[in-house]
Structure 1
Amino acid sequence: MTDTLTARALAFRQLHADPGCFVIPNPWDAGSARLLARMGFKALASTGAGHAFSCGLTDGAVGREGMMAHLGEMPAATYLPLSADLENGFGAAPETVANTLRLAATTGIVGGSIEDSSGDRAEPLYPLALATERIRAAVEAARDLPFPFTLTARAENYFIGQPDLADTIRRLQAYQEAGADVLFAPGLRTREDIAAVVSSVDRPVNVLMGMEGVTLTVADLEALGVKRISVGGSFARAAYGAFLRAAKEVQEKGSFGYADEAISGRDITRLLRKPPG
Protein backbone atom coordinates (compact mmCIF):
# COMPACT_ATOMS: atom_id res chain seq x y z
CA MET A 1 0.00 0.00 0.00
CA THR A 2 2.77 2.44 0.92
CA ASP A 3 4.57 1.79 -2.38
CA THR A 4 1.37 2.52 -4.30
CA LEU A 5 0.75 5.69 -2.32
CA THR A 6 4.31 6.84 -2.86
CA ALA A 7 4.07 6.25 -6.59
CA ARG A 8 0.80 8.20 -6.80
CA ALA A 9 2.15 10.93 -4.55
CA LEU A 10 5.30 11.36 -6.66
CA ALA A 11 3.24 11.42 -9.86
CA PHE A 12 1.06 14.15 -8.32
CA ARG A 13 4.10 16.18 -7.32
CA GLN A 14 5.53 15.81 -10.84
CA LEU A 15 2.38 17.28 -12.36
CA HIS A 16 3.02 20.43 -10.36
CA ALA A 17 6.65 20.54 -11.50
CA ASP A 18 6.01 19.91 -15.20
CA PRO A 19 5.67 22.86 -17.61
CA GLY A 20 2.25 24.32 -18.26
CA CYS A 21 -0.94 23.76 -16.29
CA PHE A 22 -3.25 20.81 -15.80
CA VAL A 23 -6.93 20.31 -15.03
CA ILE A 24 -7.79 18.37 -11.89
CA PRO A 25 -11.53 17.66 -12.14
CA ASN A 26 -13.67 16.94 -9.10
CA PRO A 27 -15.64 13.67 -8.93
CA TRP A 28 -18.24 13.32 -6.22
CA ASP A 29 -18.40 9.53 -5.96
CA ALA A 30 -16.59 6.39 -7.08
CA GLY A 31 -18.47 6.19 -10.37
CA SER A 32 -17.69 9.73 -11.45
CA ALA A 33 -14.06 9.21 -10.38
CA ARG A 34 -13.74 6.11 -12.54
CA LEU A 35 -15.34 7.81 -15.54
CA LEU A 36 -13.04 10.84 -15.29
CA ALA A 37 -10.01 8.58 -15.00
CA ARG A 38 -11.05 6.66 -18.11
CA MET A 39 -11.34 9.96 -19.99
CA GLY A 40 -7.63 10.60 -19.60
CA PHE A 41 -7.29 13.17 -16.83
CA LYS A 42 -4.02 12.94 -14.91
CA ALA A 43 -5.25 13.50 -11.34
CA LEU A 44 -8.52 13.98 -9.48
CA ALA A 45 -9.70 15.95 -6.47
CA SER A 46 -12.77 15.23 -4.38
CA THR A 47 -15.50 17.82 -3.91
CA GLY A 48 -17.05 18.25 -0.50
CA ALA A 49 -20.06 20.05 -2.00
CA GLY A 50 -20.68 17.42 -4.67
CA HIS A 51 -20.43 14.59 -2.16
CA ALA A 52 -22.79 16.38 0.22
CA PHE A 53 -25.37 16.76 -2.56
CA SER A 54 -25.12 13.03 -3.30
CA CYS A 55 -25.95 12.37 0.36
CA GLY A 56 -28.96 14.68 0.27
CA LEU A 57 -27.12 17.25 2.39
CA THR A 58 -25.91 20.81 1.93
CA ASP A 59 -22.26 21.72 1.49
CA GLY A 60 -20.37 21.35 4.76
CA ALA A 61 -22.98 19.17 6.44
CA VAL A 62 -21.31 15.77 5.99
CA GLY A 63 -18.93 16.00 8.94
CA ARG A 64 -15.51 14.46 9.40
CA GLU A 65 -16.59 10.87 9.97
CA GLY A 66 -18.76 10.87 6.86
CA MET A 67 -16.03 12.52 4.82
CA MET A 68 -13.44 9.95 5.87
CA ALA A 69 -15.79 7.13 4.86
CA HIS A 70 -16.30 8.79 1.49
CA LEU A 71 -12.57 9.26 0.94
CA GLY A 72 -11.99 5.63 1.82
CA GLU A 73 -14.07 4.59 -1.20
CA MET A 74 -12.53 6.95 -3.74
CA PRO A 75 -8.91 5.77 -4.26
CA ALA A 76 -10.03 2.21 -5.02
CA ALA A 77 -12.09 3.53 -7.94
CA THR A 78 -9.12 4.94 -9.82
CA TYR A 79 -5.41 4.46 -10.34
CA LEU A 80 -4.93 8.25 -10.49
CA PRO A 81 -3.49 10.45 -7.74
CA LEU A 82 -6.37 11.76 -5.65
CA SER A 83 -6.42 14.96 -3.64
CA ALA A 84 -9.17 15.63 -1.11
CA ASP A 85 -11.33 18.55 -0.14
CA LEU A 86 -10.75 18.53 3.61
CA GLU A 87 -12.89 21.64 4.07
CA ASN A 88 -11.66 23.68 7.05
CA GLY A 89 -10.14 20.65 8.75
CA PHE A 90 -13.38 20.06 10.69
CA GLY A 91 -12.39 22.28 13.60
CA ALA A 92 -10.73 25.54 14.51
CA ALA A 93 -7.79 24.24 16.53
CA PRO A 94 -4.51 23.56 14.69
CA GLU A 95 -4.33 20.18 16.41
CA THR A 96 -7.74 19.24 14.98
CA VAL A 97 -6.63 20.19 11.49
CA ALA A 98 -3.47 18.11 11.85
CA ASN A 99 -5.46 15.12 13.07
CA THR A 100 -7.89 15.45 10.17
CA LEU A 101 -5.00 15.34 7.74
CA ARG A 102 -3.53 12.25 9.42
CA LEU A 103 -6.89 10.49 9.25
CA ALA A 104 -7.37 11.45 5.60
CA ALA A 105 -3.91 10.20 4.70
CA THR A 106 -4.93 6.68 5.77
CA THR A 107 -7.65 6.55 3.09
CA GLY A 108 -5.32 6.47 0.07
CA ILE A 109 -5.34 10.14 -0.90
CA VAL A 110 -2.01 11.81 -1.69
CA GLY A 111 -3.00 15.45 -1.27
CA GLY A 112 -5.59 17.65 0.32
CA SER A 113 -6.74 21.21 0.86
CA ILE A 114 -7.44 23.15 4.03
CA GLU A 115 -9.53 26.32 3.86
CA ASP A 116 -9.56 29.31 6.19
CA SER A 117 -13.34 29.77 6.39
CA SER A 118 -14.69 29.32 9.90
CA GLY A 119 -18.36 28.62 9.23
CA ASP A 120 -19.19 31.50 11.61
CA ARG A 121 -21.39 34.09 9.91
CA ALA A 122 -20.21 36.80 12.27
CA GLU A 123 -16.53 36.10 11.51
CA PRO A 124 -16.45 33.92 8.40
CA LEU A 125 -12.65 33.83 8.09
CA TYR A 126 -10.25 32.70 10.79
CA PRO A 127 -7.94 35.52 11.93
CA LEU A 128 -4.75 35.43 9.90
CA ALA A 129 -2.52 34.35 12.79
CA LEU A 130 -4.76 31.38 13.62
CA ALA A 131 -5.33 30.54 9.96
CA THR A 132 -1.58 30.44 9.39
CA GLU A 133 -0.98 28.29 12.47
CA ARG A 134 -3.61 25.87 11.20
CA ILE A 135 -1.76 25.52 7.89
CA ARG A 136 1.54 25.11 9.71
CA ALA A 137 0.07 22.29 11.80
CA ALA A 138 -1.21 20.59 8.65
CA VAL A 139 2.21 20.95 7.01
CA GLU A 140 3.93 19.36 10.00
CA ALA A 141 1.47 16.46 9.96
CA ALA A 142 1.96 16.01 6.22
CA ARG A 143 5.75 15.95 6.54
CA ASP A 144 5.52 13.12 9.06
CA LEU A 145 3.73 10.85 6.60
CA PRO A 146 5.60 8.01 4.85
CA PHE A 147 4.86 9.51 1.42
CA PRO A 148 5.09 13.06 -0.03
CA PHE A 149 1.65 14.53 0.68
CA THR A 150 0.79 17.68 -1.33
CA LEU A 151 -0.93 20.25 0.88
CA THR A 152 -3.06 23.00 -0.65
CA ALA A 153 -3.91 26.07 1.43
CA ARG A 154 -7.07 27.97 0.53
CA ALA A 155 -7.90 31.65 1.09
CA GLU A 156 -11.69 31.84 1.02
CA ASN A 157 -12.23 35.64 0.80
CA TYR A 158 -13.88 35.59 -2.61
CA PHE A 159 -15.80 32.38 -2.00
CA ILE A 160 -17.55 33.76 1.08
CA GLY A 161 -18.45 37.05 -0.59
CA GLN A 162 -15.62 39.23 0.75
CA PRO A 163 -13.57 39.87 -2.43
CA ASP A 164 -10.58 41.56 -0.82
CA LEU A 165 -7.63 40.95 -3.14
CA ALA A 166 -5.05 42.48 -0.80
CA ASP A 167 -6.13 40.27 2.10
CA THR A 168 -6.31 37.23 -0.18
CA ILE A 169 -2.71 37.78 -1.25
CA ARG A 170 -1.60 38.47 2.31
CA ARG A 171 -3.16 35.20 3.45
CA LEU A 172 -1.71 33.14 0.61
CA GLN A 173 1.75 34.56 1.25
CA ALA A 174 1.44 33.65 4.92
CA TYR A 175 0.36 30.12 4.02
CA GLN A 176 3.30 29.86 1.64
CA GLU A 177 5.65 30.80 4.46
CA ALA A 178 3.94 28.19 6.65
CA GLY A 179 4.95 25.54 4.14
CA ALA A 180 1.91 24.93 1.91
CA ASP A 181 2.78 23.23 -1.38
CA VAL A 182 -0.04 24.74 -3.46
CA LEU A 183 -2.04 27.96 -3.00
CA PHE A 184 -5.70 28.40 -3.88
CA ALA A 185 -8.14 31.31 -3.73
CA PRO A 186 -11.46 29.97 -5.03
CA GLY A 187 -13.79 32.52 -6.56
CA LEU A 188 -11.28 34.62 -8.53
CA ARG A 189 -13.10 35.62 -11.72
CA THR A 190 -10.93 38.08 -13.65
CA ARG A 191 -7.62 37.91 -15.45
CA GLU A 192 -6.36 40.82 -13.39
CA ASP A 193 -7.08 39.24 -10.01
CA ILE A 194 -5.69 35.87 -11.07
CA ALA A 195 -2.53 37.46 -12.48
CA ALA A 196 -2.06 39.46 -9.27
CA VAL A 197 -2.25 36.32 -7.14
CA VAL A 198 0.07 34.30 -9.36
CA SER A 199 2.68 37.07 -9.42
CA SER A 200 2.55 37.52 -5.63
CA VAL A 201 3.58 33.98 -4.64
CA ASP A 202 6.20 31.46 -5.69
CA ARG A 203 4.19 28.26 -5.23
CA PRO A 204 1.86 26.58 -7.75
CA VAL A 205 -1.53 28.29 -7.86
CA ASN A 206 -4.84 26.46 -8.25
CA VAL A 207 -7.75 28.34 -9.80
CA LEU A 208 -11.41 27.32 -9.67
CA MET A 209 -13.43 27.35 -12.88
CA GLY A 210 -16.98 26.25 -13.66
CA MET A 211 -18.51 29.49 -12.37
CA GLU A 212 -21.43 31.08 -14.18
CA GLY A 213 -20.38 33.97 -16.39
CA VAL A 214 -16.64 33.22 -16.29
CA THR A 215 -15.38 32.44 -19.81
CA LEU A 216 -11.65 31.98 -19.20
CA THR A 217 -10.22 28.89 -20.91
CA VAL A 218 -7.44 26.50 -19.99
CA ALA A 219 -5.20 28.30 -22.48
CA ASP A 220 -6.06 31.67 -20.92
CA LEU A 221 -5.22 30.45 -17.43
CA GLU A 222 -2.01 28.81 -18.54
CA ALA A 223 -0.93 32.10 -20.10
CA LEU A 224 -1.55 33.78 -16.73
CA GLY A 225 0.79 31.33 -15.00
CA VAL A 226 -1.84 29.15 -13.32
CA LYS A 227 -0.55 25.66 -12.59
CA ARG A 228 -3.72 23.77 -11.68
CA ILE A 229 -7.41 24.19 -12.57
CA SER A 230 -10.22 22.56 -10.59
CA VAL A 231 -13.98 22.71 -11.09
CA GLY A 232 -15.24 22.20 -7.54
CA GLY A 233 -18.84 21.04 -7.32
CA SER A 234 -19.74 22.28 -10.81
CA PHE A 235 -19.56 18.86 -12.49
CA ALA A 236 -21.88 17.47 -9.81
CA ARG A 237 -24.19 20.46 -10.21
CA ALA A 238 -24.19 19.97 -13.98
CA ALA A 239 -25.20 16.34 -13.51
CA TYR A 240 -27.92 17.21 -11.01
CA GLY A 241 -29.09 20.03 -13.25
CA ALA A 242 -29.68 17.56 -16.09
CA PHE A 243 -31.37 15.17 -13.66
CA LEU A 244 -33.75 17.85 -12.35
CA ARG A 245 -34.55 19.11 -15.85
CA ALA A 246 -35.43 15.55 -16.84
CA ALA A 247 -37.63 15.09 -13.78
CA LYS A 248 -39.32 18.44 -14.39
CA GLU A 249 -40.05 17.49 -18.00
CA VAL A 250 -41.76 14.26 -16.92
CA GLN A 251 -43.64 15.95 -14.09
CA GLU A 252 -44.83 19.02 -15.98
CA LYS A 253 -45.06 17.85 -19.61
CA GLY A 254 -45.50 14.13 -19.28
CA SER A 255 -42.82 13.62 -21.93
CA PHE A 256 -39.45 11.89 -21.94
CA GLY A 257 -37.36 13.87 -24.40
CA TYR A 258 -34.50 14.07 -21.92
CA ALA A 259 -33.50 10.56 -22.99
CA ASP A 260 -32.28 11.93 -26.32
CA GLU A 261 -29.42 13.70 -24.54
CA ALA A 262 -28.63 11.02 -21.96
CA ILE A 263 -25.58 8.82 -22.42
CA SER A 264 -26.61 5.33 -23.44
CA GLY A 265 -26.15 2.39 -21.10
CA ARG A 266 -23.93 0.81 -23.72
CA ASP A 267 -21.64 3.86 -23.93
CA ILE A 268 -21.26 4.33 -20.20
CA THR A 269 -20.56 0.63 -19.78
CA ARG A 270 -17.92 0.81 -22.50
CA LEU A 271 -16.28 3.77 -20.78
CA LEU A 272 -16.30 2.09 -17.37
CA ARG A 273 -14.74 -1.03 -18.86
CA LYS A 274 -12.08 0.91 -20.76
CA PRO A 275 -8.58 -0.04 -19.58
CA PRO A 276 -6.95 2.73 -17.51
CA GLY A 277 -4.19 4.82 -18.98
Structure 2
Amino acid sequence: MNDPASVFRALHHGRPPGDPLVLPGPWDAASARVFEEAGFPALATPSAGVAASLGYADGHTPAGEMFAAVARIAGAVSVPVSADVEAGYGLAPGELVDRLLEAGAVGCNLEDSTDGVLVAPHRQADRLAEVRAAAGGRLFVNARIDTYIHGDPDAVDVAADTVARALLYAEAGADCVYPIMAPPDTLSGLAAAVPVPVNAVGAPDGPSAVRRLGELGATRITFGPQLQRRAADAVRDLAERLLGS
Protein backbone atom coordinates (compact mmCIF):
# COMPACT_ATOMS: atom_id res chain seq x y z
CA MET A 1 0.00 0.00 0.00
CA ASN A 2 2.56 2.54 -1.16
CA ASP A 3 0.54 4.56 -3.65
CA PRO A 4 -0.76 7.85 -2.23
CA ALA A 5 -4.43 7.11 -2.97
CA SER A 6 -4.29 3.88 -0.98
CA VAL A 7 -2.51 5.64 1.86
CA PHE A 8 -5.16 8.35 1.85
CA ARG A 9 -8.01 5.83 1.73
CA ALA A 10 -6.56 3.88 4.65
CA LEU A 11 -6.53 7.04 6.80
CA HIS A 12 -10.34 7.00 6.73
CA HIS A 13 -10.78 3.49 8.09
CA GLY A 14 -10.31 1.81 11.46
CA ARG A 15 -10.60 5.07 13.37
CA PRO A 16 -12.11 4.94 16.86
CA PRO A 17 -14.99 7.27 17.75
CA GLY A 18 -13.65 10.60 18.87
CA ASP A 19 -10.58 10.36 16.64
CA PRO A 20 -11.71 11.56 13.21
CA LEU A 21 -9.31 12.29 10.39
CA VAL A 22 -8.64 16.05 10.45
CA LEU A 23 -7.83 17.52 7.05
CA PRO A 24 -6.88 21.20 7.03
CA GLY A 25 -7.53 23.09 3.81
CA PRO A 26 -4.51 24.77 2.22
CA TRP A 27 -5.20 27.54 -0.26
CA ASP A 28 -1.68 27.78 -1.69
CA ALA A 29 1.71 26.07 -1.56
CA ALA A 30 2.93 28.03 1.46
CA SER A 31 -0.07 27.15 3.62
CA ALA A 32 0.19 23.52 2.50
CA ARG A 33 3.79 23.37 3.72
CA VAL A 34 2.77 24.86 7.07
CA PHE A 35 0.10 22.20 7.59
CA GLU A 36 2.45 19.40 6.58
CA GLU A 37 5.17 20.68 8.90
CA ALA A 38 2.62 20.78 11.72
CA GLY A 39 2.16 17.04 11.32
CA PHE A 40 -1.11 16.56 9.44
CA PRO A 41 -1.04 13.27 7.47
CA ALA A 42 -3.05 14.61 4.51
CA LEU A 43 -4.68 17.80 3.22
CA ALA A 44 -7.91 18.76 1.45
CA THR A 45 -8.08 21.93 -0.60
CA PRO A 46 -11.18 24.16 -0.25
CA SER A 47 -12.44 25.58 -3.53
CA ALA A 48 -13.59 28.82 -1.86
CA GLY A 49 -10.25 29.32 -0.13
CA VAL A 50 -8.31 28.67 -3.33
CA ALA A 51 -10.66 31.00 -5.21
CA ALA A 52 -10.00 33.79 -2.71
CA SER A 53 -6.25 33.32 -3.02
CA LEU A 54 -6.54 33.68 -6.80
CA GLY A 55 -8.79 36.73 -6.66
CA TYR A 56 -12.07 35.04 -7.56
CA ALA A 57 -15.43 34.77 -5.84
CA ASP A 58 -16.39 31.31 -4.67
CA GLY A 59 -17.62 29.26 -7.60
CA HIS A 60 -16.07 31.51 -10.26
CA THR A 61 -12.54 30.09 -10.57
CA PRO A 62 -11.78 28.92 -14.12
CA ALA A 63 -11.11 25.19 -14.19
CA GLY A 64 -7.58 25.60 -15.52
CA GLU A 65 -6.62 27.93 -12.70
CA MET A 66 -8.12 25.63 -10.08
CA PHE A 67 -6.24 22.59 -11.35
CA ALA A 68 -3.02 24.63 -11.59
CA ALA A 69 -3.45 25.74 -7.97
CA VAL A 70 -4.07 22.15 -6.86
CA ALA A 71 -0.93 21.07 -8.73
CA ARG A 72 1.16 23.71 -6.93
CA ILE A 73 -0.22 22.61 -3.57
CA ALA A 74 0.25 18.89 -4.24
CA GLY A 75 3.75 19.52 -5.57
CA ALA A 76 4.76 21.46 -2.48
CA VAL A 77 4.16 18.63 0.02
CA SER A 78 4.81 14.94 0.43
CA VAL A 79 1.47 14.07 2.07
CA PRO A 80 -1.65 13.13 0.07
CA VAL A 81 -3.81 16.00 -1.18
CA SER A 82 -7.50 15.82 -2.02
CA ALA A 83 -9.00 18.55 -4.19
CA ASP A 84 -12.35 20.28 -4.00
CA VAL A 85 -13.40 20.59 -7.64
CA GLU A 86 -16.93 21.85 -6.97
CA ALA A 87 -19.35 20.16 -9.40
CA GLY A 88 -16.59 19.19 -11.82
CA TYR A 89 -16.59 22.26 -14.09
CA GLY A 90 -18.73 20.53 -16.69
CA LEU A 91 -15.93 18.12 -17.58
CA ALA A 92 -16.68 14.60 -18.71
CA PRO A 93 -15.82 12.04 -16.02
CA GLY A 94 -12.75 10.71 -17.81
CA GLU A 95 -11.32 14.17 -18.41
CA LEU A 96 -12.05 15.22 -14.83
CA VAL A 97 -10.20 12.17 -13.52
CA ASP A 98 -7.26 12.76 -15.87
CA ARG A 99 -6.92 16.38 -14.80
CA LEU A 100 -7.07 15.51 -11.11
CA LEU A 101 -4.40 12.88 -11.51
CA GLU A 102 -2.23 15.20 -13.61
CA ALA A 103 -2.47 17.76 -10.80
CA GLY A 104 -1.24 15.19 -8.29
CA ALA A 105 -4.49 14.87 -6.34
CA VAL A 106 -5.37 11.57 -4.69
CA GLY A 107 -9.00 12.44 -4.05
CA CYS A 108 -11.74 14.91 -4.84
CA ASN A 109 -14.93 16.49 -3.56
CA LEU A 110 -17.81 16.48 -6.02
CA GLU A 111 -20.96 18.35 -5.03
CA ASP A 112 -24.50 17.57 -6.10
CA SER A 113 -25.69 21.07 -6.88
CA THR A 114 -25.08 23.49 -9.73
CA ASP A 115 -25.72 27.22 -9.45
CA GLY A 116 -27.53 26.65 -6.18
CA VAL A 117 -29.86 23.97 -7.52
CA LEU A 118 -29.70 20.35 -6.39
CA VAL A 119 -29.01 17.79 -9.11
CA ALA A 120 -31.47 14.89 -9.25
CA PRO A 121 -30.04 12.18 -6.98
CA HIS A 122 -29.99 9.35 -9.54
CA ARG A 123 -28.35 11.63 -12.09
CA GLN A 124 -25.62 12.53 -9.59
CA ALA A 125 -25.21 8.86 -8.67
CA ASP A 126 -24.70 8.01 -12.34
CA ARG A 127 -22.02 10.71 -12.62
CA LEU A 128 -20.26 9.43 -9.53
CA ALA A 129 -20.33 5.89 -10.94
CA GLU A 130 -18.73 7.17 -14.15
CA VAL A 131 -16.03 8.98 -12.19
CA ARG A 132 -15.39 5.83 -10.16
CA ALA A 133 -15.17 3.72 -13.32
CA ALA A 134 -12.69 6.14 -14.89
CA ALA A 135 -10.59 6.48 -11.73
CA GLY A 136 -10.61 2.91 -10.48
CA GLY A 137 -8.78 2.98 -7.16
CA ARG A 138 -6.63 5.97 -8.09
CA LEU A 139 -8.92 8.58 -6.50
CA PHE A 140 -10.79 8.80 -3.22
CA VAL A 141 -14.20 10.20 -4.14
CA ASN A 142 -15.92 12.33 -1.49
CA ALA A 143 -19.55 12.92 -2.52
CA ARG A 144 -20.75 16.24 -1.17
CA ILE A 145 -24.47 16.39 -0.42
CA ASP A 146 -25.92 19.90 -0.57
CA THR A 147 -29.39 19.20 0.83
CA TYR A 148 -28.83 21.33 3.94
CA ILE A 149 -27.78 24.38 1.94
CA HIS A 150 -29.97 24.08 -1.17
CA GLY A 151 -32.79 21.75 -0.13
CA ASP A 152 -36.32 22.99 0.51
CA PRO A 153 -37.46 21.91 4.01
CA ASP A 154 -41.04 22.84 3.12
CA ALA A 155 -41.07 20.41 0.21
CA VAL A 156 -39.01 17.48 1.45
CA ASP A 157 -37.71 15.85 4.62
CA VAL A 158 -34.15 17.12 4.35
CA ALA A 159 -32.68 14.55 6.75
CA ALA A 160 -34.35 11.67 4.91
CA ASP A 161 -33.32 13.07 1.53
CA THR A 162 -29.73 13.34 2.78
CA VAL A 163 -29.67 9.69 3.86
CA ALA A 164 -31.27 8.57 0.58
CA ARG A 165 -28.70 10.48 -1.46
CA ALA A 166 -25.86 9.19 0.70
CA LEU A 167 -26.93 5.60 0.14
CA LEU A 168 -27.22 6.13 -3.62
CA TYR A 169 -23.82 7.77 -3.81
CA ALA A 170 -22.15 5.06 -1.74
CA GLU A 171 -23.69 2.41 -3.97
CA ALA A 172 -22.36 4.31 -6.99
CA GLY A 173 -18.83 4.03 -5.64
CA ALA A 174 -18.28 7.08 -3.47
CA ASP A 175 -15.66 6.45 -0.78
CA CYS A 176 -17.13 9.02 1.60
CA VAL A 177 -20.21 11.23 1.87
CA TYR A 178 -20.16 14.87 2.89
CA PRO A 179 -23.48 16.36 4.02
CA ILE A 180 -22.16 19.90 4.18
CA MET A 181 -23.66 22.00 6.99
CA ALA A 182 -25.63 19.06 8.39
CA PRO A 183 -26.60 19.73 12.00
CA PRO A 184 -24.30 17.80 14.34
CA ASP A 185 -27.21 15.93 15.89
CA THR A 186 -27.98 14.32 12.51
CA LEU A 187 -24.52 12.80 12.08
CA SER A 188 -25.07 9.69 14.19
CA GLY A 189 -28.16 8.65 12.24
CA LEU A 190 -26.43 9.24 8.93
CA ALA A 191 -23.31 7.37 10.00
CA ALA A 192 -25.43 4.41 11.13
CA ALA A 193 -27.32 4.36 7.83
CA VAL A 194 -24.50 4.49 5.28
CA PRO A 195 -21.64 2.03 4.76
CA VAL A 196 -18.95 4.65 4.04
CA PRO A 197 -17.23 7.32 6.15
CA VAL A 198 -19.01 10.62 6.82
CA ASN A 199 -17.29 13.99 6.37
CA ALA A 200 -18.43 16.87 8.61
CA VAL A 201 -17.57 20.56 8.65
CA GLY A 202 -15.63 21.48 11.76
CA ALA A 203 -14.76 24.74 13.45
CA PRO A 204 -11.01 25.35 13.88
CA ASP A 205 -11.39 25.95 17.60
CA GLY A 206 -9.30 23.15 19.02
CA PRO A 207 -9.34 19.38 19.39
CA SER A 208 -12.35 19.14 21.69
CA ALA A 209 -14.75 20.42 19.01
CA VAL A 210 -13.29 18.01 16.47
CA ARG A 211 -13.44 15.13 18.94
CA ARG A 212 -17.11 15.83 19.59
CA LEU A 213 -17.96 15.58 15.88
CA GLY A 214 -16.13 12.25 15.80
CA GLU A 215 -18.13 11.00 18.75
CA LEU A 216 -21.31 11.99 16.91
CA GLY A 217 -20.37 9.89 13.89
CA ALA A 218 -18.03 11.89 11.66
CA THR A 219 -14.99 10.01 10.37
CA ARG A 220 -13.44 12.98 8.63
CA ILE A 221 -13.38 16.69 9.47
CA THR A 222 -12.73 19.48 7.00
CA PHE A 223 -13.06 23.23 7.40
CA GLY A 224 -13.97 24.67 4.02
CA PRO A 225 -12.47 28.15 3.58
CA GLN A 226 -12.40 28.93 7.31
CA LEU A 227 -8.63 28.63 7.66
CA GLN A 228 -7.94 30.88 4.67
CA ARG A 229 -10.39 33.43 6.06
CA ARG A 230 -8.74 33.40 9.46
CA ALA A 231 -5.38 33.92 7.78
CA ALA A 232 -6.85 36.87 5.88
CA ASP A 233 -8.15 38.28 9.18
CA ALA A 234 -4.65 37.99 10.63
CA VAL A 235 -3.21 39.87 7.66
CA ARG A 236 -5.91 42.53 8.04
CA ASP A 237 -5.01 42.93 11.71
CA LEU A 238 -1.34 43.25 10.80
CA ALA A 239 -2.16 45.89 8.19
CA GLU A 240 -4.14 47.89 10.74
CA ARG A 241 -1.30 47.72 13.23
CA LEU A 242 1.17 48.88 10.58
CA LEU A 243 -1.07 51.86 9.87
CA GLY A 244 -1.44 52.53 13.57
CA SER A 245 -5.20 52.28 13.40
TM-score using structure 2 length: 0.89
- Aligned equivalent of 2:66: 67
Unaligned runs of 5+ in 2: none
Runs of 4+ in 1 over 6 A off after TM superposition: none
Distance across 2 between alignment mates of 1:202 and 1:159: 23
- Aligned equivalent of 1:84: 83
Matches for 1:165-184 after TM superposition, within 5 Å: 165-184=159-178
How far the C-alpha of 1:64 sits from its partner, in A, is 1.1
**Most deviating of 108-117 and 216-225:** 216-225
Matches for 1:242-257 after TM superposition, within 5 Å: 242-248=234-240, 254-255=243-244
Alpha-carbon distance change, 221 to 85 in structure 1, aligned in 2, over 3 angstroms: same
How far the C-alpha of 1:249 sits from its partner, in A, is 5.3
Unaligned runs of 5+ in 1: 257-277
After superposition, what is the alpha-carbon deviation per residue over 1:165-191, rounded to whole angstroms, capped at 9, x for unaligned?
11111111110110111111111232x
Distance across 2 between alignment mates of 1:222 and 1:112: 21
- Aligned equivalent of 1:113: 109
Alpha-carbon distance change, 55 to 40 in structure 1, aligned in 2, over 3 angstroms: same
Aligned length: 237
How far the C-alpha of 1:239 sits from its partner, in A, is 0.8
**8 Å CA contact retained: 1:89, 1:101:** no
Alpha-carbon distance change, 10 to 211 in structure 1, aligned in 2, over 3 angstroms: closer
The structure having more radius of gyration, on CA atoms, is 1
**8 Å CA contact retained: 1:116, 1:156:** yes
Matches for 1:228-239 after TM superposition, within 5 Å: 228-239=220-231
After superposition, what is the alpha-carbon deviation per residue over 1:59-95, rounded to whole angstroms, capped at 9, x for unaligned?
111121111111111111111011110110112xxx6
* Aligned counterpart in structure 2 of residue 150 of structure 1, from 128, 131, 140: 140
How far the C-alpha of 1:148 sits from its partner, in A, is 3.1
Alpha-carbon distance change, 161 to 32 in structure 1, aligned in 2, over 3 angstroms: farther
TM-score using structure 1 length: 0.79
How far the C-alpha of 1:211 sits from its partner, in A, is 8.3
Alpha-carbon distance change, 161 to 240 in structure 1, aligned in 2, over 3 angstroms: farther
**8 Å CA contact retained: 1:187, 1:208:** yes
After superposition, what is the alpha-carbon deviation per residue over 1:113-136, rounded to whole angstroms, capped at 9, x for unaligned?
1110111x5xx1111121111111
Distance across 2 between alignment mates of 1:62 and 1:223: 35
Tell me the amino acid that sits aligned with residue 102 of structure 2.
T
- Aligned equivalent of 1:240: 232
How far the C-alpha of 1:8 sits from its partner, in A, is 1.7
**8 Å CA contact retained: 1:85, 1:114:** yes
**8 Å CA contact retained: 1:206, 1:226:** yes
Distance across 1 between alignment mates of 2:93 and 2:113: 13
Tell me the amino acid that sits aligned with residue 59 of structure 1.
D
Task: Give the share of equivalent positions with the same residue, in percent.
Answer: 32
Alpha-carbon distance change, 161 to 242 in structure 1, aligned in 2, over 3 angstroms: farther
Q: Does 1:202 align with 2:195?
A: yes
How far the C-alpha of 1:32 sits from its partner, in A, is 0.3
How far the C-alpha of 1:228 sits from its partner, in A, is 0.7
Distance across 1 between alignment mates of 2:29 and 2:186: 34
Tell me the amino acid that sits aligned with residue 56 of structure 1.
G
- Aligned equivalent of 1:159: 149
Q: Secondary structure at the match of 2:103?
A: coil
